Structures are given as C-alpha cells and as structure tokens.
C-alpha cells in the first residue's frame, strides 16, 4: 500500500505546468495506479497532450463525483530551497510545485480509494482528474461536461482549503480584453493637443478603482457566511480587510500595452482586465458601466462567470462537514472565498459542489510550495468518511 505522501511526491515529480498544459504523463500515472487497485478508467485528450481521466463502471451513474486537476502553474528554479519538481519528502512535508495546488488533493483521493479497496469496500463515486484548470478549463472539466462524460450530482473537489472549513462558494469572474484608440500628436503638446489611448485606459481604471469602494447587498444568511469566511481567511493568509475582498469588486489590470514612441501621443493601447465579482453585483450592469466609461475604448473579448454557491443546508455540505468534524479538532463550518476554480463550471452544469482538500495555503502558487503530510493523511480520512456515507445511502 503506497503512502499518500509517496503518491503526492510521485505526482509532483511528473511535470505538468500550464502553460503549456501537457498532462498525459501524470494522467498515465493515475490510470496505472487505479488499474492496479482494480478501478477501470477512460482517458481522453488532444494532440497537445492535454488529457483527462474519468473512472468507468457498470450500472446507474453514481451520485457522487470526486474531482481534481493535475495541471500546475509554472515554476522557475530560482529561490526554491528544493528544486520545484523534486517532490522531496522532508521534515513532515512534501515539497514542490503542485503539492498544495492540487496534486496533494489528487493524492488524497487516490489514497482514500486504495484504503477502501484494501478493506473490500466499494467506491461509491466517479473520479475525474482533469487538465487545464489553471487557464480556464476549456480542455479539462468544460470539455468533459460538453461531451456528457459526467452526470450531474454531488461533487467534492479536492482543492486546498482551511483544514476545518470546506468551501461552498466563489466570487464571480469577469475577464475583459479591451482596445483604446487615441489621436496622435507631438508629445510636447499633450494634453492640449491629441488624445492619448494610454490615458483613456487610465480613465477607465480610475472608474473601476472607484467601484471597489462599493458594497453590494446580500441576504442576511449569506452575509453571515461571508463574515465567518472573512475571519477564517484573514487568519489563514495573514491579511487584513478580507471582508472587503469578499464583499467588494476586486480588480487587476494584469496586462497593459500601448504607445508608439515617448514623444508621440499614444494612438493605440490594449488592456487585459480581470475583475472578481461579489454576490449581489450584476455582471451585465458592470460591463455596461465599464463600456460607458471607456469613451475611446471597446471590448474585444470577454469571459464571465456569476458568483456561485452551494446551499449550506444541502446533504453534501452536511455530510462533508460531519466527516471533517470526525477527523479534525475544533469548530467546523463552511466558507466562501474569492478564487475561481472548476466549481463554477460544475455548478453551472447542475452539480452541487463543495471543495475540501489538503495543503499549506500560503505557499499556493508561491516559491517553496509544500503540503504537510499530516494534511494529506487527514484529507484522505475525510474522503473515506464521505464515501462511506454515500455507500450507505446508495
């Protein structure tokens, strides 16, 4: 029986940065592991090696789905204590890119299945391991959903979460690619003469910055969840103002390019803008407002996803929280957070979704990413408990 730390280390050592997004080797490791413990699966993908795996079986579709992504964000060697794809096990941690986000969660799923098989217990869930989560899921979960490979039901995504607080909701997402046009003139005459495309983009960003000050009304029950979530996430990340992050529109002008020469008023500017949308904020109205304040700009492309949440009173949430209580010490309750994941696509397809998984969250996407072995082991126990409950209820 392979230890969950060893499984995690093996997965980390198989490179699957996105971009470029190849996951064929790591998916093959998972396929072989599942085959070894008697679980059949089907692998699909494209010529670029962006592969997904879904377990297969006979009879009625299972009501429970366990899901994890196997692509990871890139990592440079500089600054790491251990090479980022070493998968070194040391001092109670598995070290390396993806150990927290989220090959650790995938390892805990596999270890949970291995433990149940060793006890001759059924696996009352479909498993899905997907590519492309880090760049939007087009070739990963979205492809599986469009192909009808997954039947809507209850879903546990093994994304890293605080150890006593499964995540039941995420803010919405609005990504815009915009272009601004100006009227060129000699730079020495601006702003008296000419219209700067760069300054037009700045005018819009000042409007977006002002929108960050606005709070949007939500019902009291959601407001209570947001308040609890703010306290948990503030402690987890060591940052103040988490309540504002969850309640308000947050924004990042990630890429801005423009201008032709320092002494010419800019005729052209492009902007890639990402906004995280709180509950209560209409994305349609938000885009209308942005367009109205971009007098010399237009939106070339957009990707939007509304804020989403799973009912905290649903059986999935109650079963998961009960399982966490049996493994972890302390008060257990669900939270919402700001980051996007495959949960939004699954909820849009009719799934009830909860996220719970191992990791050291402050190291997520960072230099020296790592995950505690204790976290991996406890997550595996939680998953086994959830499976046991679903096996009882059919």
pLDDT confidence tier of residue 34, bands split at 50, 70 and 90: very high
Give the Cα-Cα-Cα angle 379, 384, 388 (nearest 5 degrees).
150
User: Do residues 168 and 332 touch, judged by C-beta distance below 8 A?
Assistant: no
The tokens describing 138, both together, are 């087009």
CA geometry: angle at 351 spanning 384 and 131, to 5°?
A: 75
Q: What sign for the dihedral angle of Cα 149, 131, 236, 66?
A: positive
Q: State mean pLDDT over 178-187.
A: 98
The per-residue pLDDT for range 76-101, each reduced to its tens digit, is 999 999 999 999 999 999 999 999 99
* Whether the predicted pLDDT of 363 surpasses 90: yes
- Average pLDDT estimate for 243-261: 94
pLDDT tier for residue 243 given thresholds of 50, 70 and 90? confident
4-170+308-393 topology per CATH: Aminopeptidase (3.40.630)
Q: Is the pLDDT of residue 236 over 90?
A: no
| 127-138 confidence digits (pLDDT tens) | 999 999 999 889
* Residue 178 and residue 294 in contact, taking contact as beta carbons nearer than 8 Å: yes
Helix axes 373-393, 103-118, angle to 10 degrees: 50
Q: Which structure tokens are listed for 134? A: 């880090």
Which two tokens mark 20? Answer: 């470029």
Q: Each residue of 270-306: pLDDT tens digit? A: 999 999 999 999 999 999 999 999 999 999 999 999 9
Name the band, by pLDDT with cuts 50, 70 and 90, for residue 393.
confident
Q: In this predicted structure, what is the pLDDT of residue 311?
A: 97
Among 141, 127, 102, 144, residue whose Cα is nearest residue 39: 127
CATH of domain 172-214+249-305: 3.30.70.360
List, in order, residues 6 or more apart from 249 with CB less than 8 Å away.
208, 211, 212, 214, 275, 276, 277, 278, 281, 286
**In sequence order, which residues have a C-beta less than 8 Å from that of residue 293 and are 6 or more positions away?**
203, 204, 207
Phi, psi for residue 161 in degrees, rounded to 5: -140, 165
Whole-number Å distance between alpha carbons of 161 and 393: 26
- CA dist 297 and 281 (Å) reads 23
pLDDT of the residue at 171: 97
> How is residue 276 written in tokens?
């995280």
Query: Distance between terminal CA atoms of the chain?
Result: 27
| 56-60, 158-162, 232-236: least confident range | 56-60
User: pLDDT for 210-228, tens place per residue?
Assistant: 999 998 999 999 999 999 9
Q: What is the pLDDT of residue 57?
A: 84
Domain boundaries for CATH 3.30.70.360 within the chain: 172-214+249-305
* Separation between Cα atoms, residue 42 and residue 116, nearest integer Å: 21
**CA–CA distance, 342 with 351 (Å, rounded to integer):** 11
Element containing residue 31 per DSSP (H, E): helix 24-36
CATH 3.40.630.10 residue ranges of the chain are 4-170+308-393
- Computed over every residue of the chain, the mean pLDDT equals 96
* Reported confidence tier of residue 387, pLDDT bands at 50, 70, 90: very high
> What are 149-160's pLDDT values in tens digits?
999 999 999 999
Half-sphere exposure of 37 (CA within 13 A, CB side): 22
Residue found by looking up tokens 């997550």 in the block: 379
DSSP three-state, residue 258: strand
pLDDT of residue 58: 74
């Amino acid at each position: 029986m392979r230890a969950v730390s060893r499984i995690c280390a093996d997965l980390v050592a198989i490179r699957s940065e996105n971009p470029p997004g190849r996951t064929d080797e790591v998916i093959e490791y998972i396929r072989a592991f599942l085959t070894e413990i008697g679980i059949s699966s089907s692998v699909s993908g494209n010529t670029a090696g962006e592969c997904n795996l879904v377990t297969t079986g006979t009879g009625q579709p299972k009501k429970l789905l366990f899901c994890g992504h196997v692509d990871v964000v890139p990592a440079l060697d500089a600054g790491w204590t251990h090479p980022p794809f070493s998968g070194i096990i040391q001092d109670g941690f598995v070290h390396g890119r993806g150990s927290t986000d989220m090959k650790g969660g995938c390892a805990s799923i596999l270890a949970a299945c291995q433990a149940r098989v060793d006890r001759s217990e059924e696996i009352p869930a479909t498993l899905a391991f997907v590519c492309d989560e880090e760049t939007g899921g087009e070739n990963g979960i979205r492809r599986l959903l469009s192909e009808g490979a997954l039947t809507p039901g209850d879903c546990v995504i093994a994304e890293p979460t605080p150890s006593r607080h499964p995540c039941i909701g995420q803010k919405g997402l609005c990504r815009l690619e915009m272009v601004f046009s100006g009227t060129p003139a000699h730079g020495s005459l601006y702003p008296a003469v000419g219209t700067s495309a760069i300054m037009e983009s700045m005018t819009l960003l000042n409007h977006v910055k002002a929108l960050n000050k606005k709070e949007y009304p939500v019902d009291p029950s959601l407001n209570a969840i947001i308040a609890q979530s703010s306290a948990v996430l503030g402690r987890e990340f060591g940052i103040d103002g988490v309540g504002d992050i969850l309640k308000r529109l947050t924004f990042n002008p990630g890429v801005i390019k423009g201008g032709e020469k320092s002494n010419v008023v800019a005729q052209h500017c492009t902007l890639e803008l990402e906004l995280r949308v709180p509950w209560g904020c209409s994305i349609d109205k938000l885009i209308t407002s942005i367009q109205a304040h971009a007098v010399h700009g237009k939106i070339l492309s957009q990707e939007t996803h509304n804020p989403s949440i799973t009912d905290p009173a649903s059986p999935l949430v109650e079963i998961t929280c009960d399982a966490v209580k049996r493994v972890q010490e302390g008060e257990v309750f669900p939270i919402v957070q700001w980051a996007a994941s495959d949960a939004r696509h699954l909820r849009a397809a009719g799934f009830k979704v909860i996220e719970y998984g191992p990791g050291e969250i402050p190291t997520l996407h960072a230099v020296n990413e790592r995950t505690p072995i204790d976290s991996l082991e406890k997550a595996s126990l939680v998953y086994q408990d959830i499976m046991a409950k679903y096996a009882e209820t059919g």
